[in-house]
Amino acid sequence: MKQSFFIVIVSIIASTIIFAFSISPQDKESIIIINTVYGDMKVKLYNETPLHKANFIKLVSENFFDGLLFHRVIKDFMIQGGDPDSKNATPEAELGNGGPGYNIPAEFVPGLYHKKGALAAAREADQKNPKKESSGSQFYIVQGKVFSNQELDFVENKINQNLKNQIMGKILMAPENGNLRLKLDSVKKSGSQDAMMKFIKELDPVAEKELEKQGRYKLTPEQRKIYTTIGGTPHLDGNYTVFGEVIEGLNVIDSIAAVKTGKNDRPLVDVKMKIRLVK
């Protein structure tokens, strides 16, 4: 498995280098077409995320996605596919865990965010995947919703609170802070909610100072304009790699997102895909 993973990653990196040197600056855009029974989506793959772009083109050229399902659909959120186990899957099959046997390193790029139509890579949760590596094949396309500025303020605050919680975790795990871990263990054993809140309150200023040092998360004016007009899923920004966008066929996303779903958000009637590279 390790040898196979190494070979695939080398192949992806080699493909990235080939793209960089074989395409002129004026002709670097890559376009794919995702065909479904609800119509076609024309998608531009970003040059700013070369590993994801090269991998996706490689899979498309191998007809990897043909016959796979949009196996997870959530209205006002996203449509997800790319699980090889979904091909000819029975109605009761549990989907969402399949892939080509490797992950792709995260490529978070400022300015690439989860607006409606964004193509992004699915991944395992942080607990299993702290580096936020992308699935080798599973992807989602954002439908999202339109937000008010007040709702975006809430999203910003929530993201910053999550960042602060991560900082607290790193502080507690630092080798030099063994005394803090001992104190936390003592508080946990006491079972006192008040004592736990006091402990967190004491640690909060330290985490807040570090967050300010690193830089608080803040939506750009462009993001706010997009999220309050076109819409999207801003709470996913910086956590999942966005590597393309639908430039034609946004209505197809809406049609697929509106289908009836059952267990695990799987459409009751299969929605198959076929993907081809056109440029």
Tally Cβ neighbours within 10 Å of residue 6: 11
The per-residue pLDDT for range 22-48, each reduced to its tens digit, is 444 444 789 999 999 999 999 999 999
Domain 2-146+230-277 in CATH 2.70.210.12: no
C-alpha to C-alpha distances, 166 to 64, 163, 172, 241, 247, nearest whole angstrom? 37, 5, 10, 19, 35
In the chain, which ranges are continuous DSSP H helix?
A: 2-22, 50-61, 149-173, 178-190, 193-214, 221-227, 250-257
What is the reported pLDDT for 279?
77
Q: Where in the chain is the domain with CATH 2.40.100.10?
A: 2-146+230-277
What the block records as the tokens of 3 is: 């040898």
Q: In whole angstroms, what is the distance from residue 205 CA to residue 200 CA?
A: 9
Task: Please identify every stretch of the chain with a pLDDT value under 70, giving residue numbers as ranges.
Answer: 1-27
State residue 32's pLDDT score: 98
Tokens of 192: 């006192």
Q: What is the pLDDT of residue 21?
A: 40
Residue 143 tokens read as: 């439908």
What is the predicted pLDDT for the residue at 26? 40
CA distance 251 to 182: 55
